[in-house]
Chain A
């Protein structure tokens, strides 16, 4: 018999009412009204990242909750970690983070990664959260040697992880759960 470990608690969908516990004022509760979890206060260049999650029919996922995790402006995590959380607007499915541009984060063995945001997606109908990354359209050179992008065998799918620039410091990232342009999701 191989060595036995405890098994991880299995995941279940976050459901349509995930906001009650994670973003209570978004759910309509008159509590924690001052919380703005989608706004990051940290030194660095302020950026806006807005977007939408689309289902396999192209319809917005209006009940999605997203979490952002990224390096600080100097490319550090650990104590310097930046974390944020946003709820899609119920009417449109649009979400938005006000954050700062991340520095390049180290990888393994001294290699470097291109600057990116890690995003987790939770929603009704998503049984275990989806994990993706958003890269910046300006960083083509760094992306050419990025260890995660380079592992994507279908080269055209790498584009699904690069945001569109709306204007300086303002990006749009469309996450497609299915279809020709299905976003790359990770198991890390």
Chain B
């Protein structure tokens, strides 16, 4: 094959390896659905090429101005003037990599149940009612310094079938891209002080208490919006890039 090397992307620095013992294992039988959905063979460890060290770039222009306001965006999109019911909160924080560098202009997507613990989804049949003014879908982009925020209502706890009726702590699902596909991450944010956190089989797929703590948003009273909204702080860390000590080193030297 004689294709011409296309770009400088092959020379991009590598990402540090993912610490798989820090993340939850694929097979975690306390969360029963993992039993048939976890690969049994070891993952194949491989260096990263340009296809792993680059990723999709999203433009801020694709965002609607209410995309980061779950209190009003569903009502506005469906022609209502209402607001979502529930405890008004703002979630804010920074996205950095493992070296502490901010991750600018990266897409953050969020989804959650309403204040009663019900998702607006074809497959959710929980008896708590839908809120006509809440969709539970939002997104935003970090700024130059990796900062982000969105406004929503605090989601309710909800039951799910696992060991009979288990209960999920209040949580917001989030998805973040970073600057390369190697940094791709989907996870969940919990709330400080929720007694359901230590009881949750999904939370407990994570073995290290310090890792669980990293998913708990902290009440930020200094940033509260008086007579309006409580504020939670939640920082996100993506894989870090190694430094390139020998940028011009050729293979074999």
Q: Are B215 and A9 in contact (CB under 8 A)?
A: yes
B138 within 8 A of A: yes
Q: Mark A105-147 against chain B: 1 for CB-CB distance below 8 A, else 0.
A: 1111110110000101011111111100000000000100101
Instruction: Tell me the residues in window 77-96 of chain A with beta carbons closer than 8 Å to chain B beta carbons.
Output: 77-81, 83, 90
Q: Are B57 and A79 in contact (CB under 8 A)?
A: yes
Q: Are A20 and B33 in contact (CB under 8 A)?
A: no
Q: Are A122 and B185 in contact (CB under 8 A)?
A: no
Most buried by A among B100, B110, B175: B175
A28 within 8 A of B: yes
Return chain B residues, CB-CB under 8 Å to A80: 6-7
Residue of B with least CB distance to A29: B135
- Which residue of the partner chain, among B23, B121, B174, contacts A127 with CB atoms under 8 Å? B23
Q: Are A22 and B109 in contact (CB under 8 A)?
A: yes
Q: Are B185 and A9 in contact (CB under 8 A)?
A: yes
Most buried by B among A15, A76, A182, A184: A15
Interface of A is mostly: loop
Q: Are A81 and B5 in contact (CB under 8 A)?
A: no
Q: In the docked arrangement, what's the CA distance between A129 and B125, Å?
A: 26
A167 within 8 A of B: no
Known A-B contacts A9-B187, A78-B9; A20 and B206 likewise in contact (beta carbons under 8 Å): no
A1 within 8 A of B: no
Q: In the docked arrangement, what's the CA distance between A178 and B26, Å?
A: 12
Most buried by B among A6, A59, A151, A152: A6
Q: Are B34 and A188 in contact (CB under 8 A)?
A: no
Return chain A residues, CB-CB under 8 Å to B36: 55-57, 59, 125, 177-178
Within the complex, what minimum Cβ distance (angstroms) separates B80 from chain A?
Answer: 11
Q: Sort chain B's interface into a size bin.
A: 35 or more
Within the complex, what minimum Cβ distance (angstroms) separates A83 from chain B?
Answer: 4
Known A-B contacts A10-B214, A120-B184; A75 and B3 likewise in contact (beta carbons under 8 Å): yes
Q: In the docked arrangement, what's the CA distance between A55 and B36, Å?
A: 6
- Which residue of the partner chain, among B51, B109, B139, contacts A118 with CB atoms under 8 Å? B51
Most buried by B among A5, A18, A103, A130: A5
Q: Are B77 and A30 in contact (CB under 8 A)?
A: yes
Return chain A residues, CB-CB under 8 Å to B82: none
Q: Mark A5-32 against chain B: 1 for CB-CB distance below 8 A, else 0.
A: 1111111111111111110100111110
A-B contact pairs, 30 of them (CB 8 A): A5-B99, A7-B210, A9-B237, A10-B206, A12-B215, A17-B119, A18-B186, A21-B136, A22-B109, A28-B121, A31-B77, A31-B137, A56-B37, A69-B181, A75-B6, A77-B7, A77-B54, A106-B6, A109-B251, A112-B1, A118-B51, A118-B52, A127-B38, A128-B23, A129-B184, A129-B186, A148-B44, A185-B41, A186-B46, A187-B45
